[in-house]
């Protein structure tokens, strides 16, 4: 069976994929070169970018008539290898989120179990295509018969479903992080993790979109599905560029926390510790330090972090974030009501009272008083 190659090597859609492959690889190198304290997370992000480069390259080789023709002549078994990268997107996304948020997270041999779906998909690809004779491979791929077959249909459904499952797992990890960060840090700015929601949600949205397109091709209109598939290449290209820019800008702002649980076994609360905490807060005013964290306060009080955390939670009924910002709030209210501070702007005042985030200050103030700082100043100033 003959397959005629197009005289045009690349069309506009092909060039988009070529640029995407090059850019993904360049960005992967840049991410690794810019590694700081979060070196492991940076390598995992580079892995995600490299996998996307392999997927884009495979898409180019499979759907470009000219390149598919060349591959069938030179190395037919090389087609579709890159598509296995879809099965790595979910695990890498999970590992990246975990490494970025929890600095002491351990990767063990049990984590290799995340590669089992990839192994099954690779076996299926080999049995269905890669290990077949060159004549059979030519027949399957020259008319893209294999791409619309039953095995590929279920492969696409399952690999995108796996990304959705891993994405939900990442959201659970982020929520767990948000709870823990408020036990350790006094400034838990939303911008530290909102970009990560976009990062994970973007992969989930692309997977859901791919499932929709495939369903349209299977049950509605194959030609429409092909056109939407081409559009997906542009969406994926724009998304990955945006997530790299966001990760390079905001990943360094993440206050990674320990994987250890501060709660542990409940200890009896020592009344002397409570008195020490109250005296220290009143006399030393550590809450005025913008970047105060649990470790620093525990050191100043000469208390173990776990004992301090349990005292805050069980005696004061607050996590570290709420406890420290409660003192900051009282300092801010006093300045808002003071005649000598009437000339201070709200930004200056929140900084003087220990807050470093305007959004955190406004939300905390409104929740506690039921009014904005400006309204409170008018009523009490």
Q: What is the pLDDT of residues 328-362, one digit of tens each?
A: 999 999 999 888 888 889 999 999 999 988 888 88
Q: Which of 30, 15, 16, 158 is nearest to 89 (CA)?
A: 158
- CA 150 to CA 202: how far, in whole Å? 28
Residue 148 pLDDT > 70: yes
When pLDDT is cut at 50, 70 and 90, the band that residue 264 belongs to is: low
Sign of CA dihedral 328, 276, 318, 170: positive
The terminus-to-terminus CA distance of the chain in angstroms comes to 88
- Cβ pair 168, 91 in contact under 8 A: no
Q: Which residues contact 256 (CB under 8 A, 6 or more apart)?
A: 38, 100, 101, 102, 103
Most confident of 10-24, 96-110, 288-302: 288-302
- Cβ pair 27, 42 in contact under 8 A: no
Predicted TM-score (pTM) of this structure:
0.78
When pLDDT is cut at 50, 70 and 90, the band that residue 32 belongs to is: confident
Q: What is the pLDDT of residue 3?
A: 40
Q: Kindly list the domain boundaries of the chain, sorted by start residue.
A: 12-253, 271-380
User: Higher-confidence residue: 233 or 307?
Assistant: 307
The pair of structure tokens assigned to 363 is 């939300």
Residue 44 pLDDT > 80: yes
When pLDDT is cut at 50, 70 and 90, the band that residue 7 belongs to is: very low
* Mean pLDDT within 205-213: 92
Strand partners for 293: 185
Long-range contacts of 134-137 (CB under 8 A, 24+ apart): 134/76, 137/72, 137/76, 137/77, 137/79
From the CB of residue 308, how many other CB atoms can be counted at a distance below 10 Å?
23
* Mean pLDDT within 22-48: 83
- CA 274 to CA 316: how far, in whole Å? 9
Q: What is the pLDDT of residue 263?
A: 54
CATH code linked to domain 12-253: 1.20.1070
Q: What is the pLDDT of residue 8?
A: 46
When pLDDT is cut at 50, 70 and 90, the band that residue 201 belongs to is: very high
Query: Residues of the chain with pLDDT > 90: what percent?
Result: 41
Do 12-253 and 271-380 fold alike per CATH? no
- Cβ pair 200, 338 in contact under 8 A: no
The pair of structure tokens assigned to 53 is 């480069």
Classify domain 271-380 at the CATH class level: mainly alpha
CA angle 326, 331, 332 (to 5 degrees): 95
Q: Which helix (H) or strand (E) segment is 308 a member of?
A: helix 305-314
- b/e per residue 44-64 (b: at least 16 CB within 10 A): bbbbbbbbbbbbbbbbbbbbb
């Amino acid at each position: 069976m003959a397959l005629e190659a197009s005289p045009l090597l690349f069309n506009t859609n092909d060039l988009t994929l070529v640029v995407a492959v090059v850019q993904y690889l360049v960005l992967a190198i840049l991410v690794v070169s810019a590694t700081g304290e979060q070196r492991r997370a940076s390598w995992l992000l580079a892995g995600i970018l490299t996998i996307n480069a392999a997927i884009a390259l495979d898409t180019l080789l499979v759907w470009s008539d000219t390149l598919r023709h060349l591959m069938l002549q030179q190395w037919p078994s090389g087609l579709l290898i890159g598509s296995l990268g879809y099965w790595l997107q979910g695990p890498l996304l999970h590992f990246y989120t975990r490494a970025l948020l929890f600095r002491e997270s351990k990767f063990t041999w049990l984590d290799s179990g995340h590669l089992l779906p990839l192994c099954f998909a690779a076996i299926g690809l080999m049995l269905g295509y890669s290990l077949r004779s060159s004549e059979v491979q030519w027949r399957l791929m020259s008319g893209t018969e294999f791409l619309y077959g039953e095995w590929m249909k279920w492969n696409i459904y399952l690999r995108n479903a796996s990304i959705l499952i891993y994405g939900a797992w990442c959201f659970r990890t982020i929520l767990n992080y948000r709870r823990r960060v408020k036990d350790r840090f006094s400034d838990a700015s939303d911008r530290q993790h909102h970009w990560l929601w976009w990062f994970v949600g973007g992969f989930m949205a692309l997977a859901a979109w791919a499932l929709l397109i495939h369903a349209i091709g299977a049950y509605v209109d194959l030609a429409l599905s092909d056109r939407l598939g081409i559009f997906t290449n542009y969406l994926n290209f724009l998304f990955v560029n945006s997530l790299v820019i966001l990760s390079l800008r905001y990943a360094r702002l993440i206050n990674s926390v320990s994987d250890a649980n501060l709660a542990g076994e409940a200890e009896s609360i020592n009344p002397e510790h409570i008195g020490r905490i109250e005296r220290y807060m009143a006399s030393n005013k550590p809450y005025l330090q913008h970047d105060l964290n649990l470790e620093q306060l525990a050191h100043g009080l000469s208390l173990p972090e776990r004992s301090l955390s349990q005292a805050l939670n069980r005696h004061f009924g607050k996590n570290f974030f709420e406890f420290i910002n409660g003192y900051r709030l009282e300092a801010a209210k006093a300045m808002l009501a003071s005649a000598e501070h009437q000339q201070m702007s709200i930004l200056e005042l929140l900084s003087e009272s220990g807050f470093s985030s305007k959004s955190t200050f406004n939300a905390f103030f409104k929740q506690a008083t039921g009014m904005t700082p400006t309204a409170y100043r008018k009523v009490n100033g």
